[in-house]
Amino acid sequence: MTDPVLVWWTVLCVVSAVNVVGWMASGVALGVRQPRLEPSEFVLRRWLLVLSAGYVLGCAYRSVLPVFDVPRQVMFDSWWSSVLVGRSVATVAELCFVAQWALLLRESSRATGSGFGRTAAWVMVPLIAVAEAFSWYSVLTTSNLGHVIEETIWGLCAALLVASLLAIWPRCPPSMRPLMALWCAAGVVYVLFMFAVDVPMYWSRWLADEAAGRPYLTLAQGALDVSARWVVSHRWEDWKSEVLWMSLYFSVAVWLSIALVHAPLPRRTINR
């Protein structure tokens, strides 16, 4: 590998190892807290821990074996590095992550009597499942149009989450409001990033492909392609467009997933 790629990959691997240890520590902390928790709250937090495991391990796998989906670009010449495996792992991990948010939003909405929040909680996972389907469409056909729709849905879900938190805000205890304000601020930043940077990036890639008359694969052709073809590259020029989002996704987002296991909830949530 070239030095920049080696350094970046090493950092991803180290961070992933730390994340796995952090998840284990989170599980130990939950076990210590169990005698002080109501049974319903412990069940909820155990589910959050299990879902977090899916996200933490999925991101760790993708850190050790990075994949750039559409060009079939990998770092290691192995079927385990293939787009088929990498995208499958990503699909499971991302559904686990959004399920964490949906569970917390559902419980908080029940506690505060927010009908809007309950509705949002029920639709978040199905919406992201649709986004994953469009992601697979892009990965199989190599058309970035599917990624445009996928990232748009992610942005809309984040906006829906922020709107739900704002609806819950007046009904929450004052002690929880600083944390909710932080979540809302982070959600707004994410929405702005998605619609100002991410979606336009995929849109411009799709327009460039259309202008060049690029031929796309059929779904059947793509299914064979992702399972049997990969291009090994260690050049910084080939990876630099993926470095920022992968680095943040495999670190900050994972830390958030682990933290959600212990996120505070309105008391009525566990005493309903």
Average pLDDT score over residue span 2-20: 94
With 80 as the cut, is the pLDDT of residue 36 above it?
A: yes
pLDDT digits (tens, 9 = 90+) for 66-85: 999 989 999 999 999 999 99
Which pLDDT belongs to residue 246?
92
Q: Which residues does 248 contact at the CB level (< 8 Å), separation at least 6? A: none
On whether the CB atoms of residues 74 and 81 are closer than 8 A, the answer is yes
**pTM, two decimal places:** 0.91
| Radius of gyration of the chain, Cα coordinates, nearest whole angstrom | 20
**What would the mean pLDDT of 97-107 be, rounded to a whole number?**
95
Residue 95 has pLDDT above 90, yes or no: yes
Q: Is 232 helix (H, G, I), strand (E, B) or coil?
A: strand
> What is the arithmetic mean of pLDDT over 114-119?
92
Q: Which pair of tokens denotes residue 205? A: 């890639």
Average pLDDT, the chain: 93
Q: Which domains does the chain have, with CATH numbers?
A: 3-271 (1.20.1070)
Q: What is the DSSP string of 38-101?
A: -HHHHHHHHHHHHHHHHHHHHHHHHHHS-EETTTTEESSSSGGGSHHHHHHHHHHHHHHHHHHH
CA distances (Å), origin 125, targets 3, 132, 158: 40, 10, 12
Predicted pLDDT at 270: 40
Q: In the prediction, which pLDDT does 272 show?
A: 40
For residue 29, pLDDT over 70 is answered with yes
